């Protein structure tokens, strides 16, 4: 990563564990100063201590992205520094169910984090980058954003927004020398997945995902993580004809079947 273009500070939203923590470690190793934001304070402080021990300057903030004041809270610890890189790595889904049966606060939270929050952070920090004529934003998404999936209506819809939103933002910011990338993530071995009881033994490592994002920030608007099977799935889900059959055939499987599903994807793609 070019510290002159994307530094000196990087803001990692959802930066306490998994892919977010991997981004933080790689950026710290590259000389970036860091602001890490996540909901749970304990993992944040643990990661910050690790990075500070390695010589990095780190600020942390615990806040809930589902709340309307999240950006205001983060600004309180970033307004006095120059954020040259925004990594918005938040939006995991922990509740499945039919949209009309789920409590409104559950689906509203998914939309607030993945749609309203992502847009608000991109607007604020993106405007500053465009004014300076340098910087970059990595907005993480999901293969789930290519297809509506039963019991995940709010999640898949929000991820679809993120992908299309980032494409437009990429085109707008290019004139200002600001890079924007939608990092499309597949099945990844994160603590959040493990807490849901999902077998992550065949999942992609977070460090690999983060590295691909950093390596390809200038190759937007979309980068699909190169896990075997990901590109084939995207191609399958992008077919315009007979979307009804597509939704029935390629819906995201139940959690208990995720590992088996990923193995089949890799085998079809020649990954063994």
Task: Note whether 62 and 44 are within 8 A (CB).
Answer: yes
- Torsion, CA 50, CA 53, CA 56, CA 58, rounded to 10: 60
Q: Report the pLDDT value the prediction gives residue 15, as an integer from 0 to 100.
A: 85
What is the pLDDT at residue 191? Answer: 67
CATH architecture of 3-268: 3-Layer(aba) Sandwich (3.40)
Q: Is 155 a catalytic residue?
A: yes
Contact 216, 3 (CB under 8 A): no
pTM score, two decimals? Answer: 0.88
| pLDDT score recorded for residue 112 | 96
**Of these residues, 88, 125, 146, 155, which one is catalytic?**
155
**270 phi-psi bin (left φ>0, alpha ψ -120 to 50, beta other):** left
Strand order in the sheet with 135-142: 58-62, 33-38, 9-13, 83-88, 135-142, 178-185, 222-224
Which residues does the chain have with pLDDT short of 70?
Answer: 189, 191-196, 198-202, 252, 255-272
Instruction: Judge residue 34's burial from the number of C-beta atoms within 10 Å of its C-beta, 0-12 exposed, 13-18 middle, 19 or more buried.
Output: buried
- Please state, in angstroms and rounded to a whole number, the distance separating the CA atoms of residues 245 and 240: 11
| pLDDT for res 189 | 66
> What is the per-residue pLDDT for 195?
65
What was the pLDDT predicted at 107? 95
pLDDT in tens, 36-52: 999 999 999 999 999 99
The position carrying tokens 């019991």 is: 151
pLDDT score for 193: 65
Is-contact 11 63, C-beta < 8 A?
A: no
pLDDT at 242: 86
């Amino acid at each position: 990563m070019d510290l002159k273009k994307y530094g000196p500070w990087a803001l990692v939203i959802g930066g306490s564990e998994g892919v977010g923590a991997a981004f933080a470690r790689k950026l710290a190793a590259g000389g970036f100063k860091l602001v890490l934001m996540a909901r749970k304070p304990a993992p944040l402080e643990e990661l910050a201590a690790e990075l500070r021990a390695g010589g990095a300057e780190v600020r942390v903030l615990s806040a809930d992205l589902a709340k309307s004041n999240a950006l205001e809270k983060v600004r309180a610890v970033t307004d006095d520094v120059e954020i040259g890189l925004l990594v918005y790595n938040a939006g995991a889904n922990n509740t499945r169910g039919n949209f009309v049966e789920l409590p409104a606060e559950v689906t509203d939270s998914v939309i607030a984090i993945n749609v309203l929050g992502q847009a608000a952070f991109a607007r604020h920090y993106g405007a500053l980058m465009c004014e300076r004529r340098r910087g970059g934003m990595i907005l993480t998404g999901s293969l789930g954003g290519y297809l509506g999936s039963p019991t995940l209506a709010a999640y898949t819809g929000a991820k679809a927004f993120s992908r299309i939103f980032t494409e437009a933002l990429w085109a707008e910011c290019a004139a200002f020398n600001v890079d924007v990338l939608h990092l499309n993530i597949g099945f990844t071995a994160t603590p959040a997945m493990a807490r849901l009881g999902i077998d992550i033994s065949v999942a992609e490592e977070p460090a690999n995902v983060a590295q691909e994002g950093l390596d390809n920030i200038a190759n937007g608007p979309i980068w699909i993580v190169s896990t075997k099977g990901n590109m084939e799935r995207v191609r399958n889900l992008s077919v315009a004809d007979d979307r009804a059959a597509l939704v029935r055939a390629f819906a995201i499987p139940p959690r208990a079947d995720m590992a088996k599903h990923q193995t089949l994807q890799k085998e079809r793609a020649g990954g063994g």
